[in-house]
Amino acid sequence: GQSLEQPSEVTAVEGAIVQINCTYQTSGFYGLSWYQQHDGGAPTFLSYNALDGLEETGRFSSFLSRSDSYGYLLLQELQMKDSASYFCAVRNSGNTPLVFGKGTRLSVIA
């Protein structure tokens, strides 16, 4: 089986930095992905980590430590529009579909 754990809710101040953690338990591992979903919208792909380390894309970065079965999404210079749900997702192998976490609802406040 497989499971992913991420906090259900996070609140942060506009302009600040926030880190959303994800720990996973899987029989195999084929990468960690992150998705963003605004209320009423569809999930959209943010990032993918196959190897250990930090991947940066603008204000967003994603980190992976395979030895710790752990990753995080880092959002810098928070903006109100970053208020959304963020999902981590993993694959066991190249032939199995993504399994999503239950999501973290980020609220950015002024």
Partner 1 sequence: DVKVTQSSRYLVKRTGEKVFLECVQDMDHENMFWYRQDPGLGLRLIYFSYDVKMKEKGDIPEGYSVSREKKERFSLILESASTNQTSMYLCASSFSGADNEQFFGPGTRLTVL
Residues that bind partner 1 (CB under 8 A): 8, 30-31, 33, 41-45, 48, 87, 89, 91, 94, 97-103
User: One-letter amino acid identity for 22?
Assistant: C
Pick 18 or 34: Cβ nearer partner 1: 34
Query: Please, what is the minimum distance in Å from the beta carbon of residue 14 to partner 1?
Result: 26
Nearest to 48 by CA among 71, 79, 25: 71
Query: Please, what is the minimum distance in Å from the beta carbon of residue 13 to partner 1?
Result: 25
Pick 28 or 41: Cβ nearer partner 1: 41
What is the torsional sign of CA 85, 25, 66, 49? negative
Pick 62 or 82: Cβ nearer partner 1: 62
Give the span between the Cα atoms of 15 and 4, in whole angstroms: 28
Contact 70, 23 (CB under 8 A): yes
Query: Please, what is the minimum distance in Å from the beta carbon of residue 31 to partner 1?
Result: 5
Query: Please, what is the minimum distance in Å from the beta carbon of residue 30 to partner 1?
Result: 8
Residue 67: its H or E element: none
